[in-house]
Chains A and B, each alone.
Chain A
Amino acid sequence: MKLTIIKYNAGNIQSVLYALERIGMEAVVTDDHQLIREADKVIFPGVGEASSAMKYLKERGLDTLIKSLQQPVLGICLGMQLMCKYSEENNTDCLGIFDEQVRKFVPQNGEKVPQIGWNNIYDLKSPLFSNVAEESYCYFVHGYAASLGEHTIGTTNYIQPYSSALHKDNFYGVQFHPEKSATVGEQIIKNFCTNI
């Protein structure tokens, strides 16, 4: 199986590659359109800021490429947020694959923003979560979150419930970092590689 990780100006890309290696999967990190198009599965990772990431993707035509992909695509963290319609982070129009909107966390009771740490995922509705128990803990680092909507396949509560996983057609997204979420994360990555 050919697995490709999209290379762009966002952090944490190496971590995804290493996590795949730990479960015995090989992947190519590239921004080459042809290699991405030819892949069996594509991972769109990222830690960073939405508007500069979108600008970078547009300059390289990666925005249209990602939207046109037919094979399974998994967005992680910023990758998932960029697959949504819009992000409040510097008023950024994103790829619009998911209709959900990305909004800044507004503390209501002294909560820290960004959310950093382990939180649970529930209402899991996808083969992406095969053998993953309801309320499993995953590692999150984010200051913005996608609203709940028709594409929500996983929910997490921080200040209020939000989409910690989304799915539409061949596109999947997770807000947490499966590559850093211990054995639960490894199971989710395995599911994407073998179950989707």
Chain B
Amino acid sequence: MLTKRIIPCLDIKDGRTVKGTNFVDLRDAGDPVELGALYAKEGADELVFLDITATVEKRKTLSELVNRIAHHVNIPFTVGGGISSVDDVSVLLQNGADKISVNTAAFKRPELIVELEKEFGSQCVVLAIDTRQEEDGEWYVYLNGGRTKTDMKCLDWAKKGVDNGAGEILLTSMNHDGTKQGFALDITRTLATQLPVPVIASGGGGTMDHFIDAFEKGMADAALAASIFHFKEIAIPDLKAYLKDKNIEVRV
């Protein structure tokens, strides 16, 4: 059976892993290649590397880093952060990335996803959506790392992204991110049941039971988390064993 996936996310700044919550109190956490290889060895199903520097002058650093990751990591990995053109993606894929994720640039210019799908195939195009539930109860899309609100509803944008050629959705709830109170089950379930592509739940995972909920109630295909893995609050082998014990299909 196809398994549910556990995906550690590594934030990268100037070629190093950083730990922190909500972009504050960033601390150097070492070489992303070593950390990624360690997670792979522990049973992570995929990795996501998000470049939070993402300035033009640093892009060369990122492609070199991607190349080192590709040499050392034996599971699939996605690279995101500041990607805005076919050329950006081409460099990352040539250096060994399996997928790339797009966010703000794809919203500002939706044809970007069409171009990427045509050039590289939908299997390597992940649409990352940062979303927040407002007081009116609706989930809206946010851009620029959550700093800019839009009037677009999350489900509408996700559907459009999939129509344009996105092969997966990485859904981060800003209401839940950093809280460790559990994933946003309702919006995750809405997208997971209404879209024909896999949905990765992100934001809020704090306990092993939260992952069970993301899969059983949220119907997510994968769950992503960062700090709980980096700070060793949950070890991946323990999480996988717990999920298996609760009859969730996982790779152990």
Binding site for B on A (CB under 8 A): 11-12, 14-15, 18-19, 21-22, 47-49, 107, 110, 112-120, 137, 139-141, 157-158, 177, 179-183, 185-186
Contact = CB atoms under 8 A, between A and B. Distances in A.
Contacts, number: 80
17 contacts: A14-B94, A15-B96, A18-B71, A21-B71, A112-B196, A112-B197, A114-B167, A117-B2, A117-B45, A139-B76, A140-B2, A141-B123, A180-B76, A180-B98, A182-B40, A182-B75, A183-B74
Given A112-B196, A118-B45, A186-B74, A11 B222 contact: no
Contacts of B198: 112, 116-117
B3 A119 contact: yes
Contacts of B197: 112
Contact of B1 (A22, A120, A180, A181): A120
A116 B168 contact: yes
A49 B168 contact: no
A115 B93 CA distance: 20
Nearest to B72: A22
Contacts of B167: 114, 116
A135 to B, nearest CB: 10
A120 B251 CA distance: 9
Nearest to B96: A14
B150 interface: no
B51 interface: no
Which 4 pairs of residues, A with B, have the shortest CB-CB distance?
A137-B251, A118-B251, A118-B3, A119-B2
Contacts of A183: 74
B178 to A, nearest CB: 27
Interface of B: 1-3, 5, 40, 45, 70-72, 74-76, 93-96, 98, 120-124, 167-168, 193, 196-198, 221-222, 251
Which applies to chain A's interface (DSSP): helix, strand, loop or mixed? mixed
A119 B1 CA distance: 5
Contacts of A139: 75-76
Nearest to A14: B96
Contacts of A11: 93, 120-121, 124
Nearest to A107: B196
A125 B142 CA distance: 51
Contacts of B193: 110
Nearest to A180: B76
Contacts of A179: 74
Contacts of A180: 74-76, 98
B74 A185 contact: yes
Contacts of A113: 196
Given A11-B93, A15-B98, A158 B74 contact: no
Given A118-B45, A137-B251, A15 B70 contact: yes
Contacts of A12: 98
A107 B197 CA distance: 12
Contacts of B45: 117-118
B45 to A, nearest CB: 6
